[in-house]
A and B are shown apart, each in its own frame.
Chain A
Amino acid sequence: MITGEQMLIFMQGLQTLVCQFACLCVCLFTKGQAVHKGDPVLPSVHMCFPAGFGNLMQDVLWCFSQVKGTIDIGVTEADIISTVEFNHTGELLATGDKGGRVVIFQREQESKHQPHRRGEYNVYSTFQSHEPEFDYLKSLEIEEKINKIRWLPQQNAAYFLLSTNDKTVKLWKVSERDKRPEGYNLKDEDGRLRDPSMITMLRVPVLRPMDLMVEATPRRVFANAHTYHINSISVNSDYETYMSADDLRINLWNFEITNQSFNIVDIKPANMEELTEVITAAEFHPHHCNTFVYSSSKGTIRLCDMRTSALCDRHAKFFEEPEDPSNRSFFSEIISSISDVKFSHSGRYIMTRDYLTVKVWDLNMENRPIETYQVHDYLRSKLCSLYENDCIFDKFECVWNGSDSVIMTGSYNNFFRMFDRNTKRDVTLEASRENSKPRAILKPRKVCVGGKRRKDEISVDSLDFSKKILHTAWHPSENIIAVAATNNLYIFQDKVN
């Protein structure tokens, strides 16, 4: 039985073939003939082989849409964006920053009057999610930086999201209020209490419309369950539980219970001197509520099934690629450390990001990934410098598009990369203020490795390693992406024809 996805891929392939065949026919046919007026306009030879990124059928042209954040030269550390996440419908876009704040943008309704302004994102709510704390036991500060935000699927009029810093996870409810009750008996309109003895008659309060107010309230605080720094949270497909993962342990929570969590993975060795591996990311399977994966600093991924035992110390599947001996160096282990792991929307694949590559794994094949994409291989010869300035420890994230056909990840110099899994084409784009004219098409960028540098290329030594794109997000169903560049959030959309 052919699945819908397979049919789609087949049709896309067929489409490409037909197009190429048609172009070939046209080229052969029109080569020696003049085109008369009145003839239907035939595609020219030039259009058959497009020069840049973007052919007729499938590739997307990305345009600048919006940028949020200040243009100041000196960036306040607190404004640095540390996480970006669309909700399940794509209507809301949340960002968290180092100052512990969460800003939620809402997509405005598309209007017929301004069709080219396809649903811009405007600020919907801003709130302080986490405050800096002081751990008295260790005499250490707990940063308020928001490490991750995850949305819950919408079940009523309110929106719910989880936000976490290094130690504490919080469940926030974001709701709208556009009516307020008026006509209380015991208090007057200003809120002052009335003297009960002065009340002579009773009335029923009525709801009157008011200006829309969006309020965020913390509904649950899940604290004191992590000794080490939380790096991931993931909502389970049962919508009743979620997990939080730190460097050595993963805990399972029920949304309703805040004073208990269930430890499901513990890789802390009995003797800390033997510690050689930490957990770097974890995620639940999108459909199977008993399955999750977690990645490690040694470049391995473990898939666990919670049905087998209470403590999932023994993995059900173990994904590891054998090391390439020709590329071995002292930095091999560091660059193999996985910084992000994401299930595809279909649940069939997982994608991992290590320092230089993005890999796609088939859940049914553990011994090697099915696809490997080089993000910035030109850095391979610079690893020692990057080790010295600590850039080699940067944790880049990666995302799937809605149909799992394109994957995206960030790089340095405010570059980000997209890889089309079907066409095997990739593109490098830049998030910068220079390319920020409304609906301006982003021009592909290229890094030149050595020798002659062409006009628009940038050489490896000129890259700005302080401008790194670690966090990106892709709308669940449309070609809209959000890219966090230090303290600015860029939103790009595909070109509207």
Chain B
Amino acid sequence: MGEEEGLHQTQLLDTMFVRGLKRKCFDGEEDIEGTLAGIKAIPSYNLQRQSLLDMSLVKLQLCHMLVEPNLCRSVLIANTVRQIQEEMTQDGTWQMINTQSTGQASLDRLVSTDILCRSSREQAEGKHVPGYSTFNKDFESDQAQDGSETMSTASSVQAPRNLQSNVWEMENPQENKGNFQKSLDQIFETLENKSPNSVEDLFSEVDNSYYDLDTMLTGMMSNTKMGHCDGLETFSSPTTATSSSNCKSDLNELDHIVEILVES
């Protein structure tokens, strides 16, 4: 059922992405008015693109939190994000998302994406995704009243607000052009994510000297590591299967704890 709702909400997005039509960015006021009037019919291309970008970033974060990310899926999503970013850079709509002025708008957009993704995802998988709970808590603590508003409405209500933020940003085209070369690192930072997950981080997590092929095959390193991680299993809570960065920091802590215990 949730899947159907999610599907329905993105049907609007579907109509726009049938042919990937490129539209000119806003030239002047008449375009903005026209688009505002047309908001009820079809959301603007820029809005759709932004929603897709947000959705993609959420997906990337999710797969970072899963047991082991599917590399093919991560690569495809990351490429999509890059593609959107490149197009936005060319269009001139890419800008540094200012946390003060537009932080509210960007968080609203993220919340709407959360609804879109969560309704279908949780229903499909039937399990609680830990990543989302931290997401929601952040939003709810920061934007309590906004959160409740946006939770209950569809994306069309938020469109005017988002459009406003776009308009603010478009008033400073000169500044924005200087900020075009943004890495995915900054996308994540400006969206105020709690966990350090740029796309580079995502892939660098996978590639790690711990499981370098040579060391694995020699087996020596694995034996010593196994000893540490056995300790990890007995000491820590069941939530060990999150990311290897947790393992590393925990390893250091446990090393310390084990030393103390052994000495005593």
Interface, chain A (partner B; CB < 8 A): 135-141, 224-225, 227-229, 247-248, 268, 272-273, 275-278, 280, 297, 326-334, 337, 380-385, 387-390, 393, 461, 465-466
Kindly state the separation between the CA atoms of A139 and B250 in the bound complex, as whole angstroms: 11
Kindly state the separation between the CA atoms of A383 and B52 in the bound complex, as whole angstroms: 11
Chain B residues touching A, range: 35 or more
Pairwise interchain contact A389-B3, C-beta atoms closer than 8 A: yes
Q: Which of the residues A224, A276, A385, A466 comes within 8 Å of B75, measured between beta carbons? A: A276
Give the contact stretch, choosing among B29-37, B159-167, B170-178, B225-233: B225-233
Pairwise interchain contact A331-B232, C-beta atoms closer than 8 A: no
Pairwise interchain contact A389-B75, C-beta atoms closer than 8 A: no
Interface centre among A135, A138, A381 (most CB of B within 10 A): A138
Given A224-B217, A389-B121, decide whether A138 and B14 contact each other with a Cβ distance below 8 A.
no
Given A138-B68, A138-B211, A297-B72, decide whether A276 and B79 contact each other with a Cβ distance below 8 A.
yes
Query: Is residue B65 within 8 Å, beta carbon to beta carbon, of the partner chain?
Result: no
Kindly state the separation between the CA atoms of A277 and B74 in the bound complex, as whole angstroms: 10
Pairwise interchain contact B84-A278, C-beta atoms closer than 8 A: no
Pairwise interchain contact B72-A280, C-beta atoms closer than 8 A: yes
Given A141-B241, A273-B199, A334-B80, decide whether A384 and B70 contact each other with a Cβ distance below 8 A.
no
Query: Is residue B220 within 8 Å, beta carbon to beta carbon, of the partner chain?
Result: no
Query: Is residue B71 within 8 Å, beta carbon to beta carbon, of the partner chain?
Result: yes
Q: Which of the residues A138, A225, A273, A387 comes within 8 Å of B55, measured between beta carbons? A: A387
Q: Which of the residues B83, B124, B244 comes within 8 Å of A138, measured between beta carbons? A: B244
Closest 3 CB pairs of A and B: A329-B20, A272-B203, A384-B13
Kindly state the separation between the CA atoms of A326 and B16 in the bound complex, as whole angstroms: 14
Pairwise interchain contact A381-B3, C-beta atoms closer than 8 A: no
Q: Which of the residues B10, B55, B222 comes within 8 Å of A137, measured between beta carbons? A: B222
Given A136-B229, A272-B200, decide whether A383 and B14 contact each other with a Cβ distance below 8 A.
yes
Query: Is residue B263 within 8 Å, beta carbon to beta carbon, of the partner chain?
Result: no
Pairwise interchain contact B203-A136, C-beta atoms closer than 8 A: no
CB distance from A141 to the nearest CB of B (A): 6
Given A327-B19, A388-B6, decide whether A277 and B75 contact each other with a Cβ distance below 8 A.
yes
Q: What 0/1 pattern do residues 241 to 258 of B give for CB contact below 8 A with A?
A: 110101100000000000
Pairwise interchain contact A333-B83, C-beta atoms closer than 8 A: yes
Pairwise interchain contact A141-B68, C-beta atoms closer than 8 A: yes
Q: What 0/1 pattern do residues 199 to 219 of B give for CB contact below 8 A with A?
A: 110011011101101001100
Pairwise interchain contact A137-B72, C-beta atoms closer than 8 A: no
Q: Which of the residues B199, B203, B244 comes within 8 Å of A139, measured between beta carbons? A: B244
Given A136-B222, A137-B222, decide whether A326 and B72 contact each other with a Cβ distance below 8 A.
no
Residue of chain B at shortest CB distance from A248: B71
Pairwise interchain contact B52-A330, C-beta atoms closer than 8 A: yes
**Which residues of chain A come closer than 8 Å to B11, judged between CB atoms?**
385
Q: List 19 A-B contacts (CB under 8 A).
A: A138-B211, A138-B244, A140-B68, A140-B244, A225-B213, A272-B203, A273-B199, A273-B200, A273-B204, A275-B75, A276-B78, A278-B75, A297-B76, A333-B76, A384-B10, A384-B14, A389-B120, A390-B73, A466-B124
CB contacts under 8 Å to A, within B45-77, are 49, 52, 55, 59, 67-68, 70-73, 75-76
Pairwise interchain contact A330-B116, C-beta atoms closer than 8 A: no
Pairwise interchain contact B67-A140, C-beta atoms closer than 8 A: yes
CB distance from A166 to the nearest CB of B (A): 8
* Given A330-B52, A393-B76, 14 extra CB contacts under 8 A: A137-B210, A141-B67, A227-B211, A272-B204, A273-B203, A330-B49, A332-B20, A337-B72, A382-B14, A383-B17, A385-B13, A389-B3, A389-B6, A393-B70
Given A136-B225, A381-B14, A381-B18, decide whether A389 and B7 contact each other with a Cβ distance below 8 A.
yes
CB distance from B231 to the nearest CB of A (A): 11
CB distance from A17 to the nearest CB of B (A): 41
Query: Is residue B107 within 8 Å, beta carbon to beta carbon, of the partner chain?
Result: no
CB distance from A246 to the nearest CB of B (A): 9
Query: Is residue B99 within 8 Å, beta carbon to beta carbon, of the partner chain?
Result: no
Pairwise interchain contact A331-B17, C-beta atoms closer than 8 A: yes
CB distance from A281 to the nearest CB of B (A): 11
Q: Which of the residues A137, A268, A393 comes within 8 Å of B211, measured between beta carbons? A: A137
Kindly state the separation between the CA atoms of A66 and B212 in the bound complex, as whole angstroms: 47
Residue of chain B at shortest CB distance from A381: B18
**Which residues of chain A come closer than 8 Å to B206, judged between CB atoms?**
228, 272
Pairwise interchain contact A330-B204, C-beta atoms closer than 8 A: no
CB distance from A34 to the nearest CB of B (A): 57
Kindly state the separation between the CA atoms of A380 and B19 in the bound complex, as whole angstroms: 9
CB distance from B4 to the nearest CB of A (A): 9
Pairwise interchain contact A326-B19, C-beta atoms closer than 8 A: yes
Pairwise interchain contact B14-A385, C-beta atoms closer than 8 A: yes
Pairwise interchain contact B199-A334, C-beta atoms closer than 8 A: no
Kindly state the separation between the CA atoms of A383 and B19 in the bound complex, as whole angstroms: 11
